[in-house]
Structure 1
Amino acid sequence: MNKNSKKPIIYQVLPRIFGNMQRPAKEYGNIEENGCGKMADFTPEALDAIRQLGATHVWYTGILEHATRTDYSAYGIPKDHNAVVKGKAGSPYAVKDYYDVAPDLAVSVPDRMAEFEALVERTHEAGLKVLIDFVPNHVARQYHSDAKDPLEPDLGQNDDTSRAFARDNNFYYLPGQALAFHFGAKQEDFEYSEFPAKVTGNDCFSATPGRNDWYETVKLNYGVDLQGGGTKYFYPVPDTWHKMLAILRFWIARGVDGFRCDMAEMVPVEFWQWVIPRVKSWKQVIFIAEVYQPALYRDYIRTGGFDYLYDKVGLYDTLRSVVCGHAPASRITECWQAVDDIRPHMLSFLENHDEQRIASDFFAGRAEAGIPAMIVAATIGTGPVMVYFGQELGERGMDEEGFSGRDGRTSIFDYWSLDTLRRRCHGGRYDEALLTDTERSLLHQYTAILRLSREEKALAEGTFFDLMYVNPASDSFDPARQYAYLRKADEVVVLVAVNFADTPRRVRIRIPEDAFRAMSIPDNTPARLTDLLTGTVAIGTLTHACAYEVELPPCSGRLLKFDYSGLS
């Protein structure tokens, strides 16, 4: 086992929901009716449960102060206008103060920053690292920092609002036009005033953004004249760049170990090339980019300096299609081939706050169907693996919370709690007493998969050999529903074989001479064989002369470790 592996296992969690043990009272309920989780809910016991799952990093989603319909004006926090807040709780990605913590998450609102710093300390004491969001592309429409250094100008404070674009403006403007909402037709929509209108966060250059636009946010200007053909004005460095660097430095000083950078591809790569080395000169934090355009991947890694990128358009989309029976398992090969030169930088996942839950009616309908995909996501490469809180318990995401609606996702806009998590943490104890047999089994499988993906050296750091090209469709192998490959480190080989079908299958997997040669595997030599998911130990042999036969359970897989060390 490789206890010192550098492979990150990231547990993404929405504190607003994670620690909320109050059963929701109503759809669109406010904070009093539905409750809200706190940073204090991440007790040593809670953090230990996350670590025991196999996590190395916790991504606390929604830490930064964002627009909300909850009134905190009694604490000196300006009230947000309802017209520019989505849901009662508001979107964590409509940040209204980069230098502050969401008051919802504090037991004592005036002490919210101290509570965050205590959370960081507890997380570190639990042996975990802290990731938070950095949202560089857009901010809440009513952005105003009352927590920053009062001697430093706020975003937009010195903008020339008579100009649509200026290099040192922090925002883009629509001179002479007032913002207007033509959806909903609520009185509050007419009461909100913004003149001149700022450009909306999803590059909507209209004074009348629609309901499907990011209408609650405004776009930040990094020195690119988007209205003028995309001309770049990077020298001297634009004002927004300096402000963003200061924000990153602020959070590093509070112990943060890394940033998940929201919609990084909407910010010019030149900014990242400038800012990331400066940040890393202070502390070796990690930067994770949300990028959905494969043509940009290498720019954001090699030029921009990102450590990791979402593998969404490739691996996530493909695994989802395979689980749902819309694509053959053999298509997974195309995913790793497309990013083979940058594979260590690709972050794999099956759920996050943007995607539908595996167990939802919109995805697989049951969490168990995602197990083979999780095995592949966790063991196909050396890059990070991410799970979304509740995924390990089969959370379905089928509640109708309010703004989010019944869409197969856990709402980021509403005050809510999850039944699976309430039962997992009954009375403050993180045990399995109130879990169903299915939930308990799922938790054990996720724990085994995640821990093995990091602790087994062949899976965390080893080389890779895809076996699909020598295993075409036959009576003993179905490439539409089975997938197989090898991982190797030192004198250990792991044969990974998964079955996406909901029936068991006895398969015969051919391993070519090329694999034995390329990976220096002893051919037809007895090895100590361990089934890593069951712990069963035997003697096994791999040879190119005949296929290896293995029984694959339904919607699952096998991780078969052949250990040749100590052979005479």
Structure 2
Amino acid sequence: MKKIYVSLLAIGILASCGKAQKEEATTTETESTEEVKNTLQPVNDAMMENAVIYEANIRQYSEEGSFKAFTKDIPVLKQLGVKVLWLMPIYPISTTKSKGSLGSYYAVSDYTKVNPEFGTLEDFRELVKTAHDNGIYVILDWVANHTGWDHVWLKEHPEYYTKDKEGNITHTVDTDWTDVADLNYDNTEMREQMRKDMMYWVKEEGIDGFRCDVAGMVPVDFWDKTVAELKKIKLLFMLAEGWEPELMVHAFDMGYGWDTHHKMNDIAQGKANAKEWDKRMIQIDTMYAKDDILMNFTSNHDENSWNGTVQERMGDAAAMFSALSYVAPGMPLIYSGQEYDMDKRLLFFEKDTIIKKKGKFFPLYEKLGKLKNTNPALNGGKNAASYTRIKTSDDAKILAFKREKEGNKVVFIANMTKEAVKASIEYQGKFKDYLSETEVELKVGEVHSLGAWEYKILIQE
């Protein structure tokens, strides 16, 4: 049977390296890779509870678009509470059938090399070491659904690919991904080579896991076996670009909160109200196991380039939804540039540059990151803090809930409309307003006024 197509959520890679190349990397770089691997404690459940994840677009992050330029800013990411660094594909890009002048990161021509556009393997190793020295884990973007048309497998192993009725290798069916060739998961030899290529980055380069592109379009049994083999080398953090619960039974720690993201967009655009958020939380409880983690995001590389910036999609509600992504169950994501109030769609197949000028969001992410890192009431991993909806006098407009764990309590209250609202909160207690650092007392039945998209994060320790 070919692969099962469950859901098409974003975009899709693969590659191989000659035995001699792997042996050379192993024999000449053992000392430096051992240094990288031993700097940070292995991935563990505790780090997943309070982590912030950052998606790094190396090409667009700086004028240079290089590993070196990005590495300089890793201490800045630490200030934002980042604990997991997800690097968009760092591999060489195919030029055959490529899109734009630089092509897609997801049209990989070799899985075990780095894109010379970004620098050298030594530069990459320095990036990993710097991240580890700053207490940050590094995961690589892996695209197992397809390769670029320059990949050596197309010549040496055409049987690794999907073919049409005429026997021609084809791109992934029902997509416009014409710059990539679809892989055939009926071929066991291809599966094994894919597994070996992933092992290279774990064993030889000391990375801490993978973000797996369109994971739901690759058979679950491949992921289950592969991750089990990878974890014999070291413990890993695995993120699936997919919402399917079966992906997280064995292989993946975290999936995409796509429906959560869509609910945020709909509420910001007046197409839904706070009750739709409540329905989503019930859906999560029904669909997923207690130890499943979902990633919360207001943007990512797909959303930014193809569906619009945060400002385009969320407007004045952007800050409130950013805060919500931190205090709701799950792990919050920052996409490159969001910390600098980026308000442009980054080009995907061309060089573009993020302007790194601090505005409203850097200090906000800094405060949210600190709270996420340090307050158990915002734990969102395999032993997450509880989530309880708080009743208000207008649940269609006001979202109020509490998170609680180990004697710590966080209450979130937000006006999810573009108009000022007055409502009572059916809850009582004395709190500190985390953002304004003022004392707040809630009383049952007391009416509160909230401006358009206004929100409060109340803490009680």
TM band (smaller chain): 0.7 to 0.9
- CA offsets 1:431-475 (integer angstroms, 9 cap, x no match): x4xxxxxxx2222222222332232111124211012xx43xx5x
- Aligned with residue 347 of structure 2, among 383, 391, 411: 411
CA deviation after TM superposition for structure 1 residue 551, in Å? 4.4
Q: Where do 1:190-269 residues align within 5 Å? A: 197-200=168-171, 202-204=172-174, 213-223=176-186, 238-252=188-202, 253-269=204-220
* 8 Å contact from structure 2 (residues 160, 183) kept in 1: yes
Question: Does residue 447 in structure 1 map to residue 366 in structure 2?
Answer: yes
TM-score computed with the length of structure 2 as normaliser: 0.82
Measured in 2, the distance between the counterparts of 1:392 and 1:551 equals 29
- Aligned with residue 99 of structure 1, among 107, 112, 136: 112
Question: Does residue 174 in structure 1 map to residue 152 in structure 2?
Answer: no
Change (3 A) 1:320 1:379: same
Measured in 2, the distance between the counterparts of 1:446 and 1:361 equals 16
Partner of 2:67: 39
Q: Where do 1:288-299 residues align within 5 Å? A: 288-292=239-243, 297-299=244-246
Measured in 1, the distance between the counterparts of 2:198 and 2:367 equals 35
CA deviation after TM superposition for structure 1 residue 4, in Å? 6.7
Partner of 1:372: 320
Instruction: Quote the sequence identity (%).
Output: 23
Change (3 A) 1:214 1:43: closer
Partner of 1:333: 278
Measured in 2, the distance between the counterparts of 1:288 and 1:481 equals 33
- CA offsets 1:487-508 (integer angstroms, 9 cap, x no match): 1122232211112334444431
Count of residues paired in the alignment: 406
* 8 Å contact from structure 1 (residues 40, 115) kept in 2: yes
Measured in 2, the distance between the counterparts of 1:139 and 1:496 equals 44
CA deviation after TM superposition for structure 1 residue 54, in Å? 1.7
Counterpart residue type for residue 173 of structure 2 = D
Judge which range, 134-143 or 485-494, deviates more.
Answer: 485-494
- CA offsets 1:379-416 (integer angstroms, 9 cap, x no match): 110x221111111222122xxxxxxxxxxx32221111
Measured in 2, the distance between the counterparts of 1:412 and 1:300 equals 28
Instruction: State the structure with more CA Rg.
Output: 1
Counterpart residue type for residue 464 of structure 1 = Y
- CA offsets 1:89-111 (integer angstroms, 9 cap, x no match): 110110111111111111xxxxx
Q: Which has the higher helix share?
A: 2
Partner of 2:301: 353
Question: Does residue 49 in structure 1 map to residue 48 in structure 2?
Answer: no
SS in 2 for 1:218: strand
Measured in 2, the distance between the counterparts of 1:4 and 1:346 equals 15
Partner of 1:310: 256
Counterpart residue type for residue 310 of structure 1 = Y
Partner of 1:390: 337
SS in 2 for 1:173: coil
Judge which range, 385-394 or 318-327, deviates more.
Answer: 385-394
Question: Does residue 465 in structure 1 map to residue 388 in structure 2?
Answer: yes
Partner of 2:103: 90
SS in 2 for 1:339: helix
Change (3 A) 1:96 1:350: same
- CA offsets 1:507-552 (integer angstroms, 9 cap, x no match): 31114xxxxxxxxxxxx7x65x2111122236x366xxx2355443
Partner of 2:90: 63
Change (3 A) 1:43 1:217: closer
CA deviation after TM superposition for structure 1 residue 358, in Å? 6.4
* 8 Å contact from structure 1 (residues 378, 385) kept in 2: yes
- Aligned with residue 531 of structure 1, among 433, 441, 460: 433
* 8 Å contact from structure 2 (residues 191, 222) kept in 1: yes
SS in 1 for 2:326: helix
- Aligned with residue 560 of structure 1, among 432, 443, 458: 458
Change (3 A) 1:449 1:556: farther
- CA offsets 1:154-203 (integer angstroms, 9 cap, x no match): 466244xxxxxxxxx3112236x4xxxxxxxxxxxxxxxxxx52121x22
Counterpart residue type for residue 214 of structure 2 = M
CA deviation after TM superposition for structure 1 residue 481, in Å? 3.2
Unaligned runs of 5+ in 1: 21-35, 68-79, 107-111, 145-153, 160-168, 178-195, 205-211, 225-237, 398-408, 425-431, 433-439, 512-523, 564-568
Measured in 2, the distance between the counterparts of 1:330 and 1:12 equals 30
* 8 Å contact from structure 2 (residues 310, 318) kept in 1: no
* 8 Å contact from structure 1 (residues 379, 453) kept in 2: yes
Measured in 1, the distance between the counterparts of 2:350 and 2:435 equals 38
- Aligned with residue 143 of structure 2, among 117, 135, 140: 135
Question: Does residue 495 in structure 1 map to residue 411 in structure 2?
Answer: yes
* 8 Å contact from structure 1 (residues 358, 396) kept in 2: no
Partner of 2:232: 281
Change (3 A) 1:4 1:348: closer
Judge which range, 84-93 or 53-62, deviates more.
Answer: 53-62
Counterpart residue type for residue 370 of structure 2 = R
Counterpart residue type for residue 415 of structure 1 = K
* 8 Å contact from structure 1 (residues 464, 486) kept in 2: yes
Change (3 A) 1:4 1:158: closer
Counterpart residue type for residue 487 of structure 1 = R
RMSD of aligned Cα (Å): 2.3
* 8 Å contact from structure 1 (residues 350, 358) kept in 2: no
Partner of 2:20: none
- CA offsets 1:66-88 (integer angstroms, 9 cap, x no match): 12xxxxxxxxxxxx33xx01111
CA deviation after TM superposition for structure 1 residue 375, in Å? 2.0
Change (3 A) 1:453 1:552: farther
Measured in 2, the distance between the counterparts of 1:551 and 1:378 equals 23
